[in-house]
Amino acid sequence: GVRAAGADSCDANWFTAGSGDLASPAGRPSFSAPAPAVLGYDASIFDFCTQQDVSGGGGGGGGSWQADLVARCVGANLNALRVLRGWNMCLNFRWLVCAARGKLPGQALRPELVFATRPGDLQVLRAYQRREGRGCIGGPCESHYSPEHIFFAEVCALSALCANGGELFSLPAGQRFECHFSAGGFEALVDQLTGRTKVAGSPPPPSPPPSTS
> Which helix (H) or strand (E) segment is 51 a member of?
helix 42-52
Cα(5)–Cα(19) distance, integer angstroms: 27
pLDDT of residue 122: 85
Mutual orientation of helices 147-161 and 89-100 as an angle, nearest 10°? 40
Question: 46 versus 64: which is more confidently predicted?
Answer: 46
Closest CA to 151 of 38, 13, 69, 48: 38
Query: Using one digit for the tens of pLDDT, what is the confidence trace for 66-123?
Result: 999 999 999 999 999 999 888 888 999 999 999 999 999 999 999 999 999 999 988 7
- For the CA atoms of 178, 183, 187, 189, the dihedral, rounded to the nearest 10 degrees, stands at -10
Give Cβ neighbours of residue 64 (< 8 Å, ≥ 6 apart): 17, 19
Mean pLDDT of the chain, nearest integer: 83
The CB-side HSE value for 53 (13 A sphere, CA atoms) comes to: 21
Q: Taking 50 as the threshold, does the pLDDT of residue 39 lie above it?
A: yes
Three-state secondary-structure class, residue 81? coil
Instruction: Please report the pLDDT score of residue 213 as a whole number.
Output: 46
Give the strand order in the sheet containing 37-39: 37-39, 112-115, 176-178
Asked if pLDDT for residue 30 goes beyond 80, the answer is yes
CB within 8 A of 52, min separation 6: which ones? 76, 77, 78
Higher-scoring residue by pLDDT: 130, 16: 16
Q: 112-115 and 37-39: which strand pairing?
A: parallel
- In this structure, the chain runs to a length of 213
Q: What is the pTM of this model?
A: 0.81
Cβ atoms within 10 Å of 168's Cβ, excluding its own = 20
Q: How confident is the model at residue 58 (pLDDT cuts 50, 70, 90)?
A: low
Closest CA to 55 of 73, 79, 37, 36: 73
d(CA 42, CA 59): 15
